[in-house]
């Protein structure tokens, strides 16, 4: 009997907390939810991003009192890189009028794309998500600066061409592509096919299933058999350190191993000395020696308001989070300027993102001189297609080893346009753009 | 005192054999359905979109699995993949024939899933118990691999994901971004009520009894004339049909887009756990299990905020895991036969209340 | 015709054409198989003695490795951390026996299986709460485990054997031998087998179920620790490792749920079969077949021998 009573009480207690309306947002603040993952198989990458994003916005609150005098209300929602939890986070934050959403997972971004226009919340999927969302005319509410995955691959190819003495020298070469067998890894495949045809190289594909991320010996055995001249990796989370370790194990020449912009220092460090020479794309600094990072350290890390260990501040993925938050803050500021309001809404920030223009002078004012390059978005270009550079692991840190590389826009842009058109057709009726263009660009 | 059968006379055999013989049971059921219909008027959007719609869909999938594992005793770990088959079938049918009503396609995709389920159910004739679970695991991983490797399934999308097209029913959007959570909730509720009613009749009838006979001792069942091959395959068929429909609903009424990862092994395990903790061989148990395993973590996650405590999001997540695991162990110790048995005991106590027995 | 050629002839041509790659693939398969077998060993131990299919074995592996590395990160010297981790696994065994197994004595297997699922959730939450979610590197050098590789220039190419893999194989074989002897020759081993047959009968002849279960879960915890160290050394220590534990299921099928040598043989068959299949036949269908090949191998064996290769013959009575 007591057992039954106890269990009934427990049942009653657990069902007592249902159907709560969530408290409305406090006035005079701008709500920015952060969809982060500090748990799960992708936490290895997600934790740094989360810390960087959180700390920059907190720094703005502490140092400047917010943006334009309005504080930023930052709230993290844990998604674990799971689409279902991500959607739950989205539904949970919607009543609080977020000004934008950063899903940090292509899997979560894809279901949100059609909802953005209906819910009037812009999505900033920085350098991930649906590449075609660069086309602002088809996707007025989605933004993915500074580069798409297609730009990234073309930049890697250009770098390889530079190593070989020209893109025409790629004829007959083998380029291996190892990728996470999920949306974001598969996205560049049409571009790779196209470029392989155009430049005459042979593309070898090595998919890695998400459940087999830590068991890549078969893929790297295949690499050993095929002996590609270069290896390109599109990975995330636990896939990256395993790939680097396996590459070292099979004695693949590390300086020919180039990854898209997602590895961190820890991913390369785990493989020991053999990982020296490993390269990756980047578009911002990966050290703490910039005024903006120093401010973050002073106002947030040293003041005990950060979850990040001190030695991780200023590393590649931490700075990536800082860059993302910088875009958020600048979008809010631009929205405030364009509308004249202090407490802006999602629709205002959409305009802010479209009118985003961060030039060299603004970068200097932000403390980001030398940290990254200028970026300008427009109504039709929601990406910017900015150049990136290649950085190389030297055993302790990443060092920039190339100049700024522009993407192969003449190859990438037609594919983006075609893909955007195909998306709109497949998801007909896809609403035509009705949002006005501020014609600032 | 309130829940007695005293005074309720049955005058026909049909009335005597009814599923809910006690009037109070029927009133209770009617109240629950009315409450479910009225819920959108009182609950917030988060409750409808993120709690009720997924709960209904997962409960339906749990019913499907319960038929296979609870009623027929065939442990299946491939439920996630069968949901995926339903989802992809619905996507292909809906994009190839956009003019036809989406509800028709949701039901039709169940039949596709049914066929695949029967195919992977064939080893059940030779393999039993836990070993069969591993055979269904083969189905799970193979089908998940197919979802990625066969580009025809996702219409050659470069992202590899399926996106739900916008579909209307009587002029109201039911799928796609313009569909309001309330509409989706009602559609899901209608489908779940219909399927539950059909399944309830199934398990209370001859077919259900043959399932249970196979579960209890299949050799004895064979001896009394139940054809094992047909019964087991029928169980797989019915179960896969229901989980296929649930999968199609999951993508079309809840997520809006899906990558193959949405139907991974975790989904299969979670459904199995819903069925076990809810109560094997019980329809209401499927609903209880879905509530405990899916809704409880949401409640735990929402609790700190409702009480005004600021705990880091990751810490909340860790605590949710801890609390959910602890509650599962607690409920299992208290009632190993699942929450449905607790419900039964509760009803039994109510029937003799205020007397102890 | 070329289809038939590419399935039945070409892979063997490739095997003979590049024998060093064949040996390398076989070695990788062997190593993978040994590691799967270690995970399967934990399952077998617990199933043999308590009839519980321990879903939490994978997470116990991660938890043990995390404890080891986490303690070392806080400044505890490596071997002391190892000793402390062993103590933690003992405490875990005690807790599991007291909280989960004792109240659920003689319940149907599926209920106990479900309880281990609850245990998994608890360990995930606890592990992440205490040690954090970011991946860590296994402390191989501090544990005096070798690193680097032995390279043989034979068979027209290079065969490279990682020293850590050789160490893993040796440690696994030692563990299997010790455990097999333990079960066959010692009094406690006999008691374990008695408990596996029938809990109540074992109780009636005076075997203390509680003690036996603590011993068994502790041993499984030790196996989980060894497995976690080896797997962690190959990639890194994070919660993604837990998914690999699923691969132990086909190994258990092949080897039978109650046979220690069966776990090893099953592991080797699955490991080698999977690698060979993925390497030589995988590219024909686009790769990535490693995720399901092991299960199909197990399924094929089951269709001919429903009790697995080493399992006890299933006798059904009415």
The string of DSSP codes covering A234-282 is E--TTHHHHHHHHHHHTT--GGGEEE-S---HHHHHTTGGGGTT-EEEE
**Does residue A65 lie in a domain region?**
yes
Give the helix/strand (H/E) hosting A204: strand A202-208
- Taking CB atoms and an 8 Å cutoff, what residues of chain B touch C118? 324-329, 332
Instruction: Look at A108-112, A232-236, A346-350, B294-298 and tell me which has the smallest mean pLDDT.
Output: B294-298
Q: Three-state SS for A29? A: strand
- Taking CB atoms and an 8 Å cutoff, what residues of chain C touch B326? 118, 122
Residues C104/C112, Cβ–Cβ less than 8 Å: yes
pLDDT at residue B315, rounded to an integer: 84
pLDDT at residue A5, rounded to an integer: 65
If one compares B135 and A268, the residue with the highest pLDDT of the two is: A268
Contact C133 A39 (CB under 8 A): yes
Instruction: Look at A118-122, C79-83, C245-249 and tell me which has the smallest mean pLDDT.
Output: C245-249
- For residue range A378-426, list pLDDT tens digits in order: 999 999 999 999 999 998 999 999 999 999 999 899 989 999 998 888 8
B280 in contact with C, Cβ within 8 Å: yes
C-alpha distances (whole Å) from A301 to each of A57, A365, B104 are 12, 21, 57
Kindly tell me if the per-residue pLDDT of A18 is higher than 60.
no
**What residues form DSSP beta bridges with B172?**
B169
SS in 3 state form for C97-136? HHHHHCCCCCCCHHHHHHHHHHHHHHHHHHHHHHHCCCCE
Give dist(CA C277, CA C283) in Å, integer.
10
Average pLDDT, integer, range A241-269: 91
- Taking CB atoms and an 8 Å cutoff, what residues of chain C touch A181? 288
- For residue range C30-39, list pLDDT tens digits in order: 888 888 888 8
Kindly tell me if the per-residue pLDDT of A58 is higher than 90.
yes
- For residue range B54-88, list pLDDT tens digits in order: 999 999 999 999 999 999 999 899 999 999 999 99
A172 and A143 in one domain?
no
C306 to chain A, minimum CA–CA distance in Å? 28
Domain count, chain C: 1
Domain count, chain A: 2
Q: What is the distance, to the nearest Å, from the Cα of residue C260 to the centroid of all Cα atoms in its chain?
A: 11
Contact C253 B148 (CB under 8 A): no
Give dist(CA C78, CA B266) in Å, integer.
35
Contact B262 A84 (CB under 8 A): yes
- The tokens describing C178, both together, are 């010790």
CB atoms within 10 A of CB C176: 20
Buried/exposed A197-216: b ≥16 CB within 10 Å, e otherwise: eebebebbbbbbbbbbbbbb
> Looking at A258, A282, A306, which one is the last position of a domain?
A282
**Does residue C310 lie in a domain region?**
no
Give dist(CA C179, CA C190) in Å, integer.
12
If one compares C134 and A139, the residue with the highest pLDDT of the two is: A139
Q: Three-state SS for A393? A: strand
Percent of chain C with pLDDT over 70: 98
* Count of CA atoms in the C-beta half-sphere (13 A) of A130: 34
A197 and A179 in one domain?
yes
pLDDT at residue A6, rounded to an integer: 62
Task: Compute the mean pLDDT over every residue in chain C, rounded to the nearest whole number.
Answer: 84
Residue with tokens 């429909």: B245
Kindly tell me if the per-residue pLDDT of B231 is higher than 70.
yes
Task: Compute the mean pLDDT over every residue in chain A, rounded to the nearest whole number.
Answer: 88
**Residue C72 structural domain:** 2-304
Give dist(CA A364, CA B230) in Å, integer.
75
A234 and A346 in one domain?
no
**Does residue C252 lie in a domain region?**
yes
The string of DSSP codes covering A122-149 is -EE-TT-S-GGGGBTTT-TTEE--S--H
Kindly tell me if the per-residue pLDDT of A109 is higher than 70.
yes
Residues B141/C291, Cβ–Cβ less than 8 Å: yes
Q: Where are the domains of chain B?
A: 46-352
C123 in contact with A, Cβ within 8 Å: no
pLDDT at residue C3, rounded to an integer: 77
- CATH value at residue A168: 3.40.50.2300
- For residue range A275-296, list pLDDT tens digits in order: 999 999 999 999 999 999 999 9
Most confident stretch, B45-49, B223-227, B301-305, C179-183: B223-227
Contact C236 A270 (CB under 8 A): yes
Compare all CA atoms of chain C with the CA of A179 and give the residue at the minimum distance: C288
- For residue range C73-89, list pLDDT tens digits in order: 888 888 888 999 999 99
Residues C314/C307, Cβ–Cβ less than 8 Å: yes
Q: How confident is the model at residue B1 (pLDDT cuts 50, 70, 90)?
A: low
Kindly tell me if the per-residue pLDDT of C6 is higher than 80.
no
pLDDT at residue C236, rounded to an integer: 74
Torsion of CA B121, B122, B123, B128, to 10 degrees: 60
Contacts of B139 (CB under 8 A, 6+ apart): B78, B81, B82, B116, B120
- Taking CB atoms and an 8 Å cutoff, what residues of chain C touch B149? 285-286, 288
- Taking CB atoms and an 8 Å cutoff, what residues of chain B touch A131? 158
Query: For testing the chain B interface, which of A22, A183, A212 should be mutated: the one with the most B CBs within 10 Å?
Result: A183
- The tokens describing C44, both together, are 């077998």
Give dist(CA A256, CA A406) in Å, integer.
20
Contact C288 B149 (CB under 8 A): yes
**Does residue C170 lie in a domain region?**
yes
* Count of CA atoms in the C-beta half-sphere (13 A) of C89: 30
- The tokens describing A342, both together, are 């202090």
Average pLDDT, integer, range B287-297: 90
Average pLDDT, integer, range A247-256: 90
Q: How confident is the model at residue A229 (pLDDT cuts 50, 70, 90)?
A: very high
If one compares C143 and B213, the residue with the highest pLDDT of the two is: B213
- The tokens describing B262, both together, are 């949405």
Residues B65/B275, Cβ–Cβ less than 8 Å: yes
C237 in contact with A, Cβ within 8 Å: no
Contacts of A9 (CB under 8 A, 6+ apart): none
Contact A14 B43 (CB under 8 A): no
Contact A41 C238 (CB under 8 A): yes
Helices A43-64 and A239-249 pack at an angle, to 10 degrees, of 130
Among residues A424, A325, A281, the alpha carbon closest in space to that of A48 is found at: A325
Contact B142 C115 (CB under 8 A): no
**Does residue C56 lie in a domain region?**
yes
Q: How confident is the model at residue A25 (pLDDT cuts 50, 70, 90)?
A: very low
C240 in contact with A, Cβ within 8 Å: yes
Task: Compute the mean pLDDT over every residue in chain B, rounded to the nearest whole number.
Answer: 89
Kindly tell me if the per-residue pLDDT of A50 is higher than 60.
yes
Average pLDDT, integer, range A305-310: 88
DSSP state of B122: G
Query: For testing the chain A interface, which of C135, C151, C155, C233 should be mutated: the one with the most A CBs within 10 Å?
Result: C135
| The CATH number of domain B46-352 is 1.10.3470 | yes
**Residue A334 structural domain:** 29-147+287-387+421-426
- Taking CB atoms and an 8 Å cutoff, what residues of chain C touch B74? none
Compare all CA atoms of chain C with the CA of A248 and give the residue at the minimum distance: C148
CB atoms within 10 A of CB C30: 18
Is the peptide bond preceding residue C316 cis, with omega within 30 degrees of 0? no
**A181: nearest CB among C231, C279, C288:** C288
Contact A189 B158 (CB under 8 A): yes
Average pLDDT, integer, range C193-214: 85
Percent of chain C with pLDDT over 90: 9
If one compares C130 and B159, the residue with the highest pLDDT of the two is: C130
- For residue range C109-168, list pLDDT tens digits in order: 788 888 888 898 899 889 888 887 777 777 777 777 777 778 878 777 778 888 888 888
Chains that touch B (3 or more CB pairs under 8 A): A, C
A65: left (phi over 0), alpha (psi -120 to 50) or beta: left
A113 to chain B, minimum CA–CA distance in Å? 9
**Does residue A406 lie in a domain region?**
no
C181 to chain B, minimum CA–CA distance in Å? 27
Percent of chain A with pLDDT over 70: 93
Among residues C111, C68, C102, the alpha carbon closest in space to that of C87 is found at: C68
B193 to chain C, minimum CA–CA distance in Å? 28
Kindly tell me if the per-residue pLDDT of A101 is higher than 60.
yes
C205 in contact with B, Cβ within 8 Å: no
> Looking at A282, A316, A351, which one is the last position of a domain?
A282
Q: Three-state SS for C26? A: helix
Chains that touch A (3 or more CB pairs under 8 A): B, C
Torsion of CA C214, C215, C219, C220, to 10 degrees: -40
Q: How confident is the model at residue A233 (pLDDT cuts 50, 70, 90)?
A: very high
Give dist(CA A177, CA A376) in Å, integer.
31
B357 to chain C, minimum CA–CA distance in Å? 25
A230 and A325 in one domain?
no
Q: How confident is the model at residue C240 (pLDDT cuts 50, 70, 90)?
A: low
Q: Three-state SS for A392? A: strand
A187 and A131 in one domain?
no
Give dist(CA A103, CA A6) in Å, integer.
41
Residues A221/C159, Cβ–Cβ less than 8 Å: no
Strands A389-393 and A279-282, bridge-based pairing: antiparallel
Residues C17/C78, Cβ–Cβ less than 8 Å: no
If one compares B126 and B287, the residue with the highest pLDDT of the two is: B287
**Does residue C317 lie in a domain region?**
no
Contact A91 B305 (CB under 8 A): no
Average pLDDT, integer, range B254-263: 89
CB atoms within 10 A of CB B179: 22
Kindly tell me if the per-residue pLDDT of A251 is higher than 60.
yes
Kindly tell me if the per-residue pLDDT of B241 is higher than 80.
yes
Residues C272/C35, Cβ–Cβ less than 8 Å: no
CA angle B260, B265, B269 (to 5 degrees): 135
B positions 33-72 inside 8 Å of C (CB): none
pLDDT at residue A334, rounded to an integer: 93
**B127: nearest CB among C104, C108, C302:** C302
The string of DSSP codes covering A400-435 is E-S--B---HHHHHHHHHHHHHHHHHHTPSPPPP-S
Helices of type H across chain C: 2-8, 10-17, 19-50, 57-73, 78-96, 109-131, 163-185, 187-197, 199-204, 209-234, 248-255, 260-276, 290-304
Average pLDDT, integer, range A161-178: 91
Is the peptide bond preceding residue A429 cis, with omega within 30 degrees of 0? yes
Average pLDDT, integer, range A147-152: 92
Give dist(CA C221, CA C233) in Å, integer.
18
Kindly tell me if the per-residue pLDDT of A12 is higher than 80.
no
C40 to chain A, minimum CA–CA distance in Å? 17
**Does residue C314 lie in a domain region?**
no
- The tokens describing A359, both together, are 């030039």
Contacts of B153 (CB under 8 A, 6+ apart): B88, B91, B92, B146, B147, B162
**Does residue A23 lie in a domain region?**
no
Most confident stretch, B178-182, B198-202, C6-10: B198-202
**Does residue A200 lie in a domain region?**
yes
B positions 244-273 inside 8 Å of C (CB): 265, 269, 273
Compare all CA atoms of chain B with the CA of C106 and give the residue at the minimum distance: B336
Q: What is the distance, to the nearest Å, from the Cα of residue C75 to the centroid of all Cα atoms in its chain?
A: 29
Residues A390/A281, Cβ–Cβ less than 8 Å: yes
**C121: nearest CB among B127, B280, B325:** B325
Is the peptide bond preceding residue A155 cis, with omega within 30 degrees of 0? no
A312 to chain C, minimum CA–CA distance in Å? 12
B349 in contact with A, Cβ within 8 Å: yes
Average pLDDT, integer, range A176-189: 88
């Amino acid at each position: 009997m007591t057992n039954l009573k106890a269990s009934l009480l427990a049942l009653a207690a657990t069902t007592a907390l249902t159907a709560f309306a969530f408290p409305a947002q406090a006035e005079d603040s701008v709500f920015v939810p952060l969809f982060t993952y500090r748990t799960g198989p992708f936490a290895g990458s997600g934790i740094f991003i989360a810390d960087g994003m959180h700390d920059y916005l907190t720094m703005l609150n502490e140092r400047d009192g917010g943006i334009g005098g309005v504080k930023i209300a930052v709230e993290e929602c844990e998604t674990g890189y799971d689409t279902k939890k991500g959607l739950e986070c989205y539904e949970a934050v919607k009543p609080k009028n977020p000004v934008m959403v950063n899903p940090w997972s292509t899997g979560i971004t894809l279901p949100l794309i059609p909802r953005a226009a209906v819910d009037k919340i812009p999505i900033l999927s920085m350098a991930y998500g649906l590449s075609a969302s660069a086309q602002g005319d088809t996707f007025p509410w989605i933004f993915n600066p500074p580069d798409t995955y297609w730009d990234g691959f073309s930049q890697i190819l250009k770098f390889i061409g530079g190593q070989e003495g020209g893109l025409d020298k790629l004829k007959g070469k083998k380029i291996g592509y190892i990728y996470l067998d999920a949306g974001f890894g598969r996205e560049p495949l049409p571009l790779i096919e196209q470029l392989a045809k155009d430049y005459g190289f042979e593309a070898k594909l090595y998919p890695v299933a998400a459940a087999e991320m830590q068991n890549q010996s078969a893929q790297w055995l295949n690499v050993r058999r095929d002996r590609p001249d270069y290896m390109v990796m599109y990975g995330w989370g636990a896939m990256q350190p395993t790939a680097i370790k396996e590459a070292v194990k099979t004695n693949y020449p590390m300086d020919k191993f180039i990854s898209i912009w997602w590895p961190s220092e820890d991913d390369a460090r785990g493989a020991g000395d053999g990982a020296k020479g490993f390269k990756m794309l980047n578009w911002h600094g990966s050290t703490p020696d910039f005024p903006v990072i120093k401010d973050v350290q002073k106002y947030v890390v040293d003041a005990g308001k950060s979850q990040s260990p001190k030695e991780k501040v200023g590393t590649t993925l931490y700075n990536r989070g800082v860059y993302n938050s910088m875009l958020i803050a600048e979008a809010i500021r631009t929205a405030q300027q364009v509308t004249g309001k202090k407490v802006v809404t999602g629709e205002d920030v959409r305009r802010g993102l479209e009118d985003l223009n961060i030039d060299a002078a603004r970068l200097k004012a932000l403390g980001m001189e030398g940290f990254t390059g200028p970026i300008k978005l427009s109504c039709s270009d929601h990406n910017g297609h900015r150049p990136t550079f290649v950085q190389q692991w030297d055993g302790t840190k990443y060092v920039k080893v190339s100049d700024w590389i522009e993407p192969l826009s003449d190859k990438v842009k037609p594919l983006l346009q075609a893909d955007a058109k195909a998306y709109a057709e497949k998801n007909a009726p896809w609403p035509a753009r009705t949002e006005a263009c501020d014609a600032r660009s | 005192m309130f829940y007695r059968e005293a005074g309720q006379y049955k005058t026909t055999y049909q009335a005597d054999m009814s599923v809910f013989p006690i009037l109070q049971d029927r009133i209770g059921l009617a109240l629950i359905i009315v409450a479910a219909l009225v819920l959108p008027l009182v609950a917030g959007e988060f409750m409808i979109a993120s709690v009720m719609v997924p709960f209904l869909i997962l409960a339906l999938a749990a019913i499907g699995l319960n038929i296979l594992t609870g009623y027929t005793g065939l442990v299946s770990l491939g439920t996630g993949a069968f949901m995926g088959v339903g989802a992809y079938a619905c996507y292909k049918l809906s994009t190839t024939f956009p003019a036809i009503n989406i509800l028709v396609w949701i039901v039709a995709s169940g039949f596709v899933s049914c066929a695949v389920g029967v195919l992977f159910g064939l080893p059940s004739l030779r393999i039993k118990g836990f070993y069969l679970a591993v055979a269904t695991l083969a189905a799970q991983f193979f089908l998940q691999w197919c979802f990625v490797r066969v580009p025809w399934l996702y219409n050659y999308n470069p992202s590899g994901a399926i996106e739900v097209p916008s579909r209307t029913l009587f002029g109201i959007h039911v799928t796609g971004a313009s569909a309001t959570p309330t509409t989706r909730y009602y559609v899901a509720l209608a489908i779940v009520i219909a399927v539950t009613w059909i399944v309830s009749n199934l398990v209370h009838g001859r077919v259900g009894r043959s399932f249970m006979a196979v579960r209890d001792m299949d050799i004895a069942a064979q001896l009394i004339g139940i054809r094992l091959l047909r019964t087991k395959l029928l169980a797989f068929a019915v179960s896969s049909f229901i989980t296929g429909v649930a999968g199609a609903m999951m993508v079309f009424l809840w997520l809006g887009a899906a990558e193959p990862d949405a139907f991974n092994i975790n989904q299969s395990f979670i459904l199995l756990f819903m069925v076990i903790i809810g109560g094997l061989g019980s329809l209401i148990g499927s609903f209880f299990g879905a509530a405990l395993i899916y809704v409880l973590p949401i409640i735990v996650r929402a609790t700190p905020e409702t009480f005004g405590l600021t705990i880091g999001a990751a810490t909340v997540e860790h605590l949710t895991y801890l609390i959910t695991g602890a509650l599962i162990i607690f409920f299992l110790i208290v009632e190993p036969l699942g929450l449905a048995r607790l419900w039964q005991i509760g009803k039994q106590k109510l029937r003799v209340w205020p007397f102890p027995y | 015709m070329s289809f038939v050629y590419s399935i039945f002839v070409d892979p063997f041509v490739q095997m003979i054409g590049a024998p060093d790659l064949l040996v390398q693939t076989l070695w990788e398969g062997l190593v993978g198989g040994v590691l799967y077998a270690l995970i399967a060993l934990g399952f077998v131990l617990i199933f043999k003695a308590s009839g519980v299919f321990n879903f939490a074995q994978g997470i116990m592996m991660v938890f043990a490795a995390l404890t080891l590395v986490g303690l070392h990160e806080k400044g505890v010297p490596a071997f002391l951390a190892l000793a402390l981790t062993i103590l933690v696994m003992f405490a875990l065994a005690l807790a599991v026996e007291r909280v989960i197994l004792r109240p659920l004595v003689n319940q149907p297997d599926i209920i106990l299986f479900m309880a281990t699922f609850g245990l998994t959730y608890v360990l995930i939450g606890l592990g992440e709460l205490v040690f954090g979610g970011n991946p860590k590197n296994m402390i191989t050098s501090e544990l005096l485990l070798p690193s680097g590789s032995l390279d043989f220039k034979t068979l027209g190419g290079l065969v490279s054997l990682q020293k850590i893999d050789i160490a893993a194989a040796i440690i696994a074989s030692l563990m299997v031998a010790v455990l097999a002897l333990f079960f066959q020759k010692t009094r406690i081993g006999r008691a374990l087998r008695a408990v596996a047959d029938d809990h109540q009968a074992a109780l009636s002849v005076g075997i203390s179920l509680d003690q036996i279960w603590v011993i068994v879960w502790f041993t499984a915890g030790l196996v989980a620790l060894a497995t976690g160290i080896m797997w962690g050394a190959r990639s890194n220590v994070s919660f993604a490792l837990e998914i690999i534990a699923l691969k132990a299921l086909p190994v258990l099928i092949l080897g039978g749920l109650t046979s220690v040598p069966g776990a090893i043989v099953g592991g080797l068959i699955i490991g080698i079969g999977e690698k060979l299949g993925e390497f030589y036949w995988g590219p024909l269908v686009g790769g990535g077949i490693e995720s399901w090949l092991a299960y199909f191998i197990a399924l094929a064996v089951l269709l001919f021998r429903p009790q697995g290769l080493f399992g006890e013959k299933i006798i059904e009575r009415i």
